[in-house]
Amino acid sequence: MAATVDLTGWGENGFRGNNNAGTWTVQPGNDTVRQTSNGQPTVFFEPGSNAQGTSLSGSIEVYTTGDNDFVGFVLGYQDGELNSANADFWLIDWKQANQDVAKIGLSLNHVTGNVAGTSVNDFWQHVGTVDEVARGAGLGSTGWADNQSYTFDLIFTPTLIQVDVDGVNQLSYTSADHGSTFTDGAFGFYNYSQGSVEYAGITSAVVPPSPVPLPATLPLLMAGFGALGLMRRRRRAA
């Protein structure tokens, strides 16, 4: 069962140690946060938490018609990684419109390496420390709309990153695609050069473990054992 997430214990990191790059204000009820600054990359997350094996759901809405930049999420984030020389986390960002080399649409990116020593252009262009690995199935070249609420569902396990928007799967990236399991860390929200964003009604739930698939030959083998037992019983009866 999904449980309401209390955001009062969450905190902010800004790019290259510029904390307060974002202004994140938890709203009454404590399951909603609004970010009002138009600045450098900023994340809002639960310090010290590990989110693998859970899902995060809610809604996202941009309350402005005056900008067109990045909103989104981070996964596997550790406190301070936006100012780390050895970062390793996942970034889901969604841009409203093309702008110079920044592409419209929803994407999944692996952020690794010396974020503290790089330019913010890595986040703008998805180059260098920000490696784009996938784009949304239906929203990869479609931006978010002003003053429109979207539901989101994120799943994060050691072997799966999944993103659904309005009940439609957009990203499903596996450890097999990546070549190794994903490092653990917190869920978080992400903005870059975009204010007036609200993440509302946040809930989380435990993701049930995937059933281990049976070998394709096992049902036939079991059926064969059953038939053999039946034949033996018939012989004894005879």
Per CATH, domain 3-213 is 1.10.630.10 = no
**What residues contact 104, with CB distance under 8 A and at least 6 apart?**
95, 96, 97, 98, 141, 142, 143
pLDDT of residue 222: 47
Convert the pLDDT of each residue in 27-40 to its tens digit. Answer: 999 999 999 999 99
pLDDT at 216 over 80: no
How is residue 50 written in tokens?
A: 């590990």
Among residues 52, 53, 123, the alpha carbon closest in space to that of 81 is found at 123
**DSSP class per residue in 187-225:** EEEEEES--SEEEEEEEEEEPPPPPPPPPTTHHHHHHHH
Average pLDDT for 103-109: 98
* pLDDT of amino acid 57: 98
The domains of the chain are located at: 3-213
Residue pair 165/154 in contact (Cβ under 8 Å)? The answer is: no
15-65 per-position pLDDT tens digit:
999 888 899 999 999 999 999 999 999 999 999 999 999 999 999 999 999
pLDDT greater than 70 at residue 176: yes
User: To the nearest whole percent, how much of the chain has pLDDT over 70?
Assistant: 88
Residues in the chain: 238
Cα separations in angstroms, 21 against 126, 135, 191: 20, 27, 10
DSSP-assigned beta bridge partners for residue 151:
59
pTM for this prediction: 0.88
Give the residue with greater pLDDT, 182 vs 225: 182
